[in-house]
Amino acid sequence: MVESGGQDAILVVGSLGFDDIETPFGRANHVLGGSTVYFSAAASLFAPVRVVSVVGTDMPLESFDFLRARGVDLAGLQVAEGKTFHWAGRYDYDMNSRETLATDLNVYADFHPRLPAGYEDSQHVFLANIHPSLQREILGQARRPRLTVMDTMNLWIEQERDALLETMHGVDMVSLNEEEARELSGTSSLVAAARYILSLGPRVVLIKKGENGCVMITPEGYFMAPAYPLEEVYDPTGAGDSFAGGFLGYLAGAPDLSDENLRRAVVYGSAVASFTVERFSVDRLRDLTRAEVDERYAEFRRLTYFEAL
Amino acid sequence: MVESGGQDAILVVGSLGFDDIETPFGRANHVLGGSTVYFSAAASLFAPVRVVSVVGTDMPLESFDFLRARGVDLAGLQVAEGKTFHWAGRYDYDMNSRETLATDLNVYADFHPRLPAGYEDSQHVFLANIHPSLQREILGQARRPRLTVMDTMNLWIEQERDALLETMHGVDMVSLNEEEARELSGTSSLVAAARYILSLGPRVVLIKKGENGCVMITPEGYFMAPAYPLEEVYDPTGAGDSFAGGFLGYLAGAPDLSDENLRRAVVYGSAVASFTVERFSVDRLRDLTRAEVDERYAEFRRLTYFEAL
């Protein structure tokens, strides 16, 4: 385990649970899921990670041994009487859209995130996709972090817009997908959508486009990265959260948050996500190594590089 | 007009006609259209262009003065008794798909392309989207060109598959869009689709993904380029043909067809196409300059560049 102060530590708050996943390539039942597990598995390849989440008494805690072995601190993992969060979803051949078949909040319904002692100095915070009010509770407990990133989803855009905008106003960066960006901004133009989101407070917007890569928008300009060309995407679940893990993981160890380093972080995020979707659940992330991620980073450069005039 | 032998000359064969276009931003009726006009307007910023096409007696030949002024040779333009080719189409907010409202072949129905004297030595050939048998007629008349590129469409994939495969076998490069690549190969995976198309004979495949950019696949690997982030796409008509014009135009003047130059050509194609869609018909291409295209090339580099590890 990497011991450290909060200098390069990353705090993540989000869901942990069991997933049932169906894709054109097969199905996986009762597998480990939730934004936090994908994020932690990815980010822990780069930096120490601290988890705040909740599971029920039905979750075998050995499930997280592979994370502990990578230095993930689980002191903030609450175990509550009852059943663990459960999600079931189905993907069609168009892996960019999915159908949710079931969402059972279970112990998640009464969850309030609390930072355990020693977590307050975490310099990097990832607010995974949970209710925007819970995201703000965490922001209130962290001590002047260097970088805060939040994810969100259509549910909060549609039903909790005011709370969402208030949370957005307090973070450095917002990560969301193409449809969410359009819905939030009420425009079909991604350029206009990005400008709108920047006007809400964040200084960086990351728009995820699935197999079409992603776009990072800052006041300085755009950076566009493709998705890695895979023969097949077996299971897109967790692509976004493991992207965030690679992104924040790289930045946690970077000397500054320059545009150059933000770009590198986007490519690291894309590289990790490209492994995630190669297998079901977090299976590919369990034994993924930093060396493999670095090799894929180099491949991304070969994929996109061209000479100046 | 640029005088030259066939060294850097580009021959294009395809349609010329009148378009009626409807997009969420407005409509344009009876405007200049057809693959050849978009291709020529783009390619002539880079190299001498020679046109083979047909129009009816209702087409005012002054329509092409702006092309003549850029050195486009129209000796291969046949004028036939009757009406000019006409296309009408409508785009929804999703500019990646369009609805064809009318296709009136008119004089195009009996068209057979013939190279006028002096065209046979053209070293670069673009076979725009016409019947694959007509494409092959042109290939048979050209003398050992350095580079041949063909476009196609779903109609030929569905109704003239054998002729299409035979033409593909004889060209260096195939350009087609995402849906066409999937339909031709019978697979949803673009990686598998590209491999299939390469197995048919061409050594380069260019898959166009509209607002999501494009992918060039060669036996050496992939190159992925984004589309330029525009606030609005006013009219996507001609994006693919003007891409091909920028692509072949750049290569016509390049000392070799190395991977490095092919990548540059993809970016030049993307740069020109990004101007095309800013206005209706060929309006933006009429006064577009090479300097503006070079500036956008530099912007593409800023959009995609990141440092090695």
Name which of A188, A304, A309 is nearest B304 (Cβ-Cβ).
Answer: A304
Chain A positions in Cβ-Cβ contact with residue B306 (cut-off 8 Å)? 223, 225, 260, 263-264, 266-267, 301, 304
Mean pLDDT of chain A: 95
Name which of B190, B212, B307 is nearest A260 (Cβ-Cβ).
Answer: B307
> A4 lies in a domain?
no
B165 lies in which domain range?
10-303
Distance of CA B290 to the CA centre of its chain: 18
Query: Which whole number is the average pLDDT over B147-163?
Result: 96
Number of domains in chain A: 1
Minimal-distance CA residue of chain A relative to B221: A303
Q: How many residues does chain A have?
A: 309
> B3 lies in a domain?
no
- Whether B230 and chain A come into contact, CB under 8 Å, resolves to yes
d(CA B291, CA B298): 11
> A5 lies in a domain?
no
> A2 lies in a domain?
no
- Whether A186 and chain B come into contact, CB under 8 Å, resolves to no
Report the 10 Å Cβ neighbour count for B8: 19
What strands, in cross-sheet order, belong to the sheet with B85-91? B26-33, B17-23, B85-91, B98-104
Asked if the model's pLDDT at residue A5 lies above 90, the reply is no
Asked if the model's pLDDT at residue B113 lies above 50, the reply is yes
Contact B230 A191 (CB under 8 A): yes
> A79 lies in a domain?
yes
Chain B positions in Cβ-Cβ contact with residue A221 (cut-off 8 Å)? 302-303
pLDDT band at B5 (very low <50, low <70, confident <90, very high): low
Query: Which whole number is the average pLDDT over B155-165?
Result: 96
The backbone torsions φ and ψ at residue A199, rounded to the nearest 5 degrees and listed phi first, read -70, -15
According to DSSP, the β-strands at A124-127 and B72-80 are unpaired
The backbone torsions φ and ψ at residue B70, rounded to the nearest 5 degrees and listed phi first, read -100, 15
pLDDT digits (tens, 9 = 90+) for A236-276: 999 999 999 999 999 999 999 999 999 999 999 999 999 99
- Whether A291 and chain B come into contact, CB under 8 Å, resolves to no
Q: Is A97 exposed, middle or buried (0-12, 13-18, 19+ CB in 10 A)?
A: exposed
Chain A with chain B: Cβ pairs closer than 8 A? 89
Interface test with A, best of B97, B290, B294, B306 (most A CBs within 10 A): B306
Residue type, A14: G
Asked if the model's pLDDT at residue B83 lies above 50, the reply is yes
Interface test with B, best of A185, A292, A299, A304 (most B CBs within 10 A): A304
Residue type, A3: E
According to DSSP, the β-strands at B49-56 and A221-225 are unpaired
Name which of A229, A231, A294 is nearest B309 (Cβ-Cβ).
Answer: A294
> A151 lies in a domain?
yes
Asked if the model's pLDDT at residue B2 lies above 50, the reply is no
The backbone torsions φ and ψ at residue B87, rounded to the nearest 5 degrees and listed phi first, read -130, 140
For the domain that residue B250 is a member of, what is the CATH number? Answer: 3.40.1190.20
Q: Which of B285, B177, B270, B290 is CA-nearest to residue B230?
A: B270
pTM (2 d.p.): 0.95
pLDDT band at A162 (very low <50, low <70, confident <90, very high): very high
Contact A229 B223 (CB under 8 A): no
Instruction: Give the three-state DSSP class for B52.
Output: strand
Residue type, A299: E
Chain A positions in Cβ-Cβ contact with residue B192 (cut-off 8 Å)? 231
> B309 lies in a domain?
no
pLDDT digits (tens, 9 = 90+) for A79-118: 999 999 999 999 987 776 789 999 999 999 999 999 999 9
Q: Are A100 and A154 in contact (CB under 8 A)?
A: no
- Whether B220 and chain A come into contact, CB under 8 Å, resolves to no
Token pair, residue A117, equals 């002692």
Mean pLDDT of chain B: 95
pLDDT digits (tens, 9 = 90+) for A269-300: 999 999 999 999 999 999 999 999 999 999 99
Q: Which of A290, A190, A189, A249 is CA-nearest to residue A47?
A: A249
Query: B75: number of CA atoms within 13 Å, CB side?
Result: 12
Query: Which whole number is the average pLDDT over A35-54?
Result: 98
The backbone torsions φ and ψ at residue B136, rounded to the nearest 5 degrees and listed phi first, read -70, -35
Contact A222 B303 (CB under 8 A): yes
Which alpha helices (H) appear in chain A, and where do they start and end? 35-43, 65-68, 132-141, 154-159, 161-169, 178-185, 190-199, 239-252, 259-276, 283-286, 290-304
Q: What is the pLDDT of residue A309?
A: 87
Q: Which of B222, B232, B101, B220 is CA-nearest to residue A213?
A: B222
> A14 lies in a domain?
yes
Asked if the model's pLDDT at residue B3 lies above 60, the reply is no
